[in-house]
Amino acid sequence: MKKLLSVLFATLVMAGNAIAAEITDIPENYWAATEISYCVKNGIIKQYGDGSFKPEVEVKRAEFNSMLLRTLGYLPTEVPDKNIFKDLNNNHWSYSDILKSEQMGLLYGYPDKTFKPEVKITKTETASIISHITKQVAENVGILSQFADGKDVPAWGKNQYAKSIELGIYVNYPDAAYLLPNKTLNRAEAAVLLYRLRKAMGEIQEKYVAKEVTVGTEHLDNGDYSDGDASGDFANNKVMVTNFRRIVLAGNVIRASFVGNFDANSIDFESPLNFTFVNDVYTEEGSLIIPRGSMLKAIVSAMEPQKVISPDTKISVVFSEITFPSGKKAALHGKILDKKGDLTIARLATFGNIAGYTLGGAAIGAGSGVGIAAAPDMAKRKKAALAGLKSASGAGRLTGLVTPGLPIKADVDDSLFIELTRDFSFYEAESL
């Protein structure tokens, strides 16, 4: 679990994995729109029956407790422990969540054996809770002096508030110079706070984090790939859903575009190739998998020279890493899609004559070529050649992307279909 929390960034989902309806009262430019959308879609904070979020509504202790449990990966469940709170009836909507929290030592009641579920919670109280469940850091109370109202933090909460600031798990809107520590937390602020807590999962003590369990399955939306040979039967389109993340299983296909114009003459062994995602990648059920603007890194891992005029010369390309718009990176391993022996590309452009030269200097006629190989295990495949374009002679195959002396290029809008060779998982909060 420690490795999981330090490497991945969580996507919480509720049992059944229902996708939230459109939030009717949160415009795209709302200051907390991203965080609210994330928390609603992932079951951390519920919408109201009319589809609204009501961001200014103040949060009660029972509400924050349930939001916090969902953030930590706990699904609603029955808790058999005896009720110790004299102000909590077993018909209260959050009865099980409150007892679960008491069992975990997550959010405590009061010395008089009350929980006060309907009492509104303040920002300092939430800072104290976050301090309680996170790992130790070097607390510096002096950091409070950076805020115009830092002196207003109650004495009992100064160390805790300082710690939450050190971890970056706090919210100070609308004026970044003010903490407003005694203000009651509202729903928009709760969304921002819990979103940031999810981005800092590695800082939470492991004893407070739920075990990972599978709660459902989604399906990658492969879109319209009919412009190449990528349409049809893919090896997989399943996305496994857990209480923490979505795992895109190996065999899924994604589509990435070249970054800048590509000139084959400039490529050699171990040359880096960069791709980007022009559009967001979603599941059919509506979950964001890869945000547009993410960058995919690949390298030329092997080059097999052309021995004779043949469409069989291969160049292997390995995909290994994705960088999200947030700057965070994750491992993403894939290969160019090989369908029925042909490498599929959305479209390519040529310039000059199709005719070029082999690595040995012999002339190549239109229709011969070099391909970008689909994988190191090409022996299990058929020929490796780019499909879908016709050469000047109508031979049906275009010469390949990567070969010295062959004038082939890809424009900025050209794209490749990439099949994942390993499961790909990430915590959505960190990708945004």
| Per-residue confidence band for 376, with pLDDT thresholds at 50, 70 and 90 | very low
pLDDT band at 432 (very low <50, low <70, confident <90, very high): low
| Residue 268 pLDDT class (50, 70, 90 cuts) | low
Is the pLDDT at 316 greater than 80, yes or no?
no
Check if the beta carbon of residue 123 is closer than 8 Å to that of residue 189: yes
Which structure tokens are listed for 45? 């904070």
Q: Which of 142-151, 183-192, 258-267 has the lowest mean pLDDT?
A: 258-267
**pLDDT for residue 266 is more than 80:** no
- What are the phi and psi torsion angles at 272 (to 5°)? -80, 145
* CB neighbour class for 326 (10 Å; exposed up to 12, middle 13-18, buried from 19): middle
Pair of tokens at residue 57: 């509504």
> In this model, does residue 67 exceed pLDDT 90?
yes
SS3 151: helix
Confidence of residue 216 (pLDDT cuts 50, 70, 90): very high
pLDDT tens digits, residue range 379-413?
A: 332 222 222 222 222 222 223 343 333 333 445 45
Least confident of 61-70, 99-108, 291-300: 291-300
Mean pLDDT of the chain: 74
Q: Using DSSP, how many helices (H) and how many strands (E) does the chain show?
A: 8, 21
Which residue ranges make up each domain of the chain? 2-121+184-208, 214-431
Whether 95 shows a pLDDT value over 70: the answer reads yes
Q: Does domain 214-431 have CATH number 3.40.640.10?
A: no
Q: Closest Cα partner for 366 from 409, 386, 396, 345?
A: 396
* pLDDT for residue 39: 94
Rg (CA), the chain: 27
Q: Quick one: pLDDT at residue 419?
A: 85
